[in-house]
Amino acid sequence: MFFTFGFAYCQTPKLVVGIVIDQMSYDYLYRFDQHFGKDGFNRFLKNGVNCKNTTYNYVPTYTGPGHASIYTGTTPSNHGIVANDWYDRALLKSVYCVQDNTVKTVGSSSKYGKASPHLLETTTITDQLKLTYPNSKVVSISIKDRGAILPGGHMSNGTYWFDFQTGTFITSTYYTTALPEWVEAFNRLHPAKSYLQDWNLSLPLDRYSRTVDDSPYERVIPGKLAAVFPYTKEEIGSENYSGFTLTPFANTMLTDFAVSAMVKEGLGKDKLSDMLCISYSTPDIAGHEFGPYSLELEDIYLRLDRELAKLFQALDQEVGKKNYLVFLTADHAVVPVPQQLLDNKLPGGYLDIDSLTTDLNQFLSVKYGEPLILEENNLNFYFNREKIHALGLDLHTLQDEVSERLRSVPKVQLVLSGHDLDRNIKLSNWGEMIASGYTKERSGDVLMVLKPGFINKADDTKGTHQGTTHGSAFNYDTHVPLLWYGNGLERASIYRPISITDISATMVHFLNLQRPASMIGSPIDELWEE
């Protein structure tokens, strides 16, 4: 089936490849471009469509919500993945967004396979493809379980992630009772230990945008005495395979696995469209440790460019240049290391969240005789509702009192209560982002956003001033790349605002599908219009 698009004469793609880079800021496309060859990021930049003003439209900006939002075309308020983990009021404990204790690991005897998409409360674009065309194939892979599970949706033909115990790829009994032979063969021939080597800079030091290796803003990983090159394989592997996953070699392993999946599953080989979902987790794992202005991260992106080139070459050979469509985006970006901001006389800093929670409970104990906050999670405060009911107190009054107290904290930008959000009161821009990330079942009783440049820490020691995180409503966390290549698209740049939820809304029309259940995104119509 063919369609006349503004940029070219295109057919429905035989294979759609979705690439999510975990923790990629928009500016990396340009800050690191001197390292890029012609067939990696430059395939997109020189020959594809660059949506330059793509942002997340909710908070918190974490890996789980990001992947879910990209592939459902809606926000956490609808798909339910409100964070990587949240406090479950019924279970009285935190739960992980893909945790599933009813399933077992397939591919090893470890605990790392006890996961599934059962907490995802709506359908994905991958689900919609399988519902519509049952013989279409969907394969989803990542180092992180959530990076594979949420894109693959509920109906994938294969969803695989990394086992930190064995250094191989696994799945769960939610999907199958045994790994396919090609996955078993890959695990036998290419375990993580076969990729592990000394990590040295790929280029001479003066070729990098930063020439200081021993930075005070980087965490020192276990096995090292300083955050400096080289990282020997003995140092990287001193703990278990967790060290391996923050090196560029984990990206290489994932690319090789993606190519194997493409070939062995025969993706893009028949008349029906297939989807391959790839999430590169290593940039996030390393980014947390070293920060966005580190030599380590720059070298990872230099090498990741080569992995993308390898993937493109396999697509050209196996599927054909005119037969596939690729998009690349990120699940979130990242805040610069706050201590680095402070040292450069920029706004930023740290909030000791444990001390703040203790202070709130002391206030409640003095006034009501009991500490009424059970848990703080992702700047959400969860109240002890059973105790509140037993004491005959009004939940909404308590929410308002705690909210008002938090608003007086100098490092806090905005506070909203569940009562505010349930009433659909008129909200500011940041408030709308909180509302889009909120559900009454899984979010806290009181939610807050810190001021720009601030992150929360469990304490305030020297070590907590190294490394960084993400999760806020601000542009350093929300502005991400969105690139398209293939299927006849020609080079173009789009500058208007685009929301992350628009990606799957666009895929609906490339694949001729019904919009998934709770999709709110809009198609990027410039891909069809002159």
Catalytic residue numbers read: 63
Angle between helices 125-132 and 63-72 (to 10 degrees): 40
Query: Going by C-beta distance under 8 Å and a sequence separation of 6 or more, which residues neighbour residue 56?
Result: 66, 69, 332, 477, 478, 480, 499, 500
- Helix (H) or strand (E) holding 5, with range, is none
User: Residue 281 burial (CB < 10 Å; 0-12/13-18/19+)?
Assistant: buried
* Distances in whole angstroms, Cα of residue 429 to Cα of each of 58, 316, 426, 474: 10, 43, 10, 11
- Report the distance separating Cα 47 and Cα 50, nearest Å: 9
- CA 386 to chain centroid, in Å, comes to 34
- DSSP E strands, 82-185: 85-88, 93-96, 105-106, 138-142, 158-163, 168-172
CB 78 within 8 A of CB 122: yes
- Report the distance separating Cα 472 and Cα 447, nearest Å: 12
User: Residue 402 burial (CB < 10 Å; 0-12/13-18/19+)?
Assistant: buried
Residue for token digits 């191989």?
168
DSSP string, 416-452: EEHHHHHTT----HHHHHHHHT--TTTS-SEEEEEPT
- Report the distance separating Cα 143 and Cα 248, nearest Å: 12
Dihedral over alpha carbons 174, 176, 177, 182 (to 10 degrees): -140
Cis peptide before 230 (omega within 30 of 0): yes
Bridge partner residues of 274 (DSSP): 15
Q: Is 148 helix (H, G, I), strand (E, B) or coil?
A: helix
Q: For residue 480, give both structure tokens.
A: 């991400």
Q: How many helices (H) and strands (E) does the chain have?
A: 21, 23
- Helix (H) or strand (E) holding 315, with range, is helix 295-318
